[in-house]
Structure 1
Amino acid sequence: MEKNVCDNCSRDLLVSGDSVQFKCPKCLAHVIKRCGKCRSNAVKYTCASCGFSGP
C-alpha cells in the first residue's frame, strides 16, 4: 500500500489540513503529494519521474 504522506516533509496527509495530490504538470506520470504547511510556506517540490520542480 502506498504511503499517503507529503513528498517534502513526510507529514501524514490525512492529519494535515489543506493537503493536495496532483499529477506532475510536466510528465503527468508521478503523483505529487503536498501537505498544507508545505503549500503555505511555498516549499519547492520535485517530480521523482522527470525532475520538474515547482513552488
Structure 2
Amino acid sequence: MQKCSSCKREVTDDYVKFKCPKCGKSVIVRCMKCRDNVIPYTCGECGFEGP
C-alpha cells in the first residue's frame, strides 16, 4: 500500500507518484488533498522540499 509523502496516510486512489525532481532517486507519493492544499513534502534521499 502506498503512503502520502506529506500526510503519511495510506492512499488507494486519487494520488500521484513521481521521482524526486532534484535527485530522481526517491519516489514521492502525493494524495489529492495534500496536492490541492499545497502541503509540502520532503525527499527522503536528498532533503529536497517541494511542492
Q: TM-score, normalised by structure 2?
A: 0.88
Distance 2:50 2:5 in 1: 13
Name the larger-Rg structure: 1
Q: Match for residue 36 of structure 1?
A: 32
Structural mapping, 1:1-55, within 5 Å: 3-15=1-13, 17=14, 19-55=15-51
Moved beyond 2 Å, runs of 4+: none
Q: Percent identity?
A: 51
Cα RMSD (Å): 1.2
Q: TM-score, normalised by structure 1?
A: 0.82
Gaps of 5+ in 1: none
How many residues are aligned here?
51
Structure (1 or 2) with the greater strand fraction: 2
